[in-house]
Amino acid sequence: MNKIDFLSSPPIGTVVALDGQEYEMISSAPHQRKDGTPTTLLTWATQCPDCGRPFQVTTGLVTKGLNRRCADHRQALKPVSGRRDLVRAKVIAR
Ligand SMILES: [Zn+2]
């Protein structure tokens, strides 16, 4: 599982794991999009894999991914674990 896709708001305390990083849903709140469509915002609590500092990310019910790191360590496209490095190594070897 590497994306969030809920039909409706999951219960508070729901934990999802993305590539081994756990996110706990701590709140959901009704939200109105710019076009006026009602939706729900979910707030997730997780820990930065670089420094261990807890931080929160907010998503809609459906999102492609979640920030893995706190604001200090956020780096676009940098993988957390070695898993994706292995995939990349295979591609290079070919
Ligand atoms: Zn950090």
Residue 19 Cα to ligand 1 middle (Å): 17
Residue 22 Cα to ligand 1 middle (Å): 15
Are 58 and 42 spatial neighbours (Cβ–Cβ below 8 Å)?
yes
Residue 53 Cα to ligand 1 middle (Å): 6
Of residues 21, 20, 38, 18, the one with CA closest to residue 29:
38
Residue 14 Cα to ligand 1 middle (Å): 23
Of 23-27, 51-55, 78-82, where does mean pLDDT reach its minimum? 78-82
pLDDT tops 70 at residue 90: no
Across 14-23, average pLDDT = 89
Structure confidence at residue 76 as a pLDDT band (50, 70, 90): low
Are 32 and 38 spatial neighbours (Cβ–Cβ below 8 Å)?
yes
> What pTM value is reported for the model?
0.73
- The whole-number pLDDT of residue 83 equals 43
Which DSSP string do the residues of 44-58 spell out, in sequence order?
A: EEEE-TTT--EEEEE
Across 5-25, average pLDDT = 91
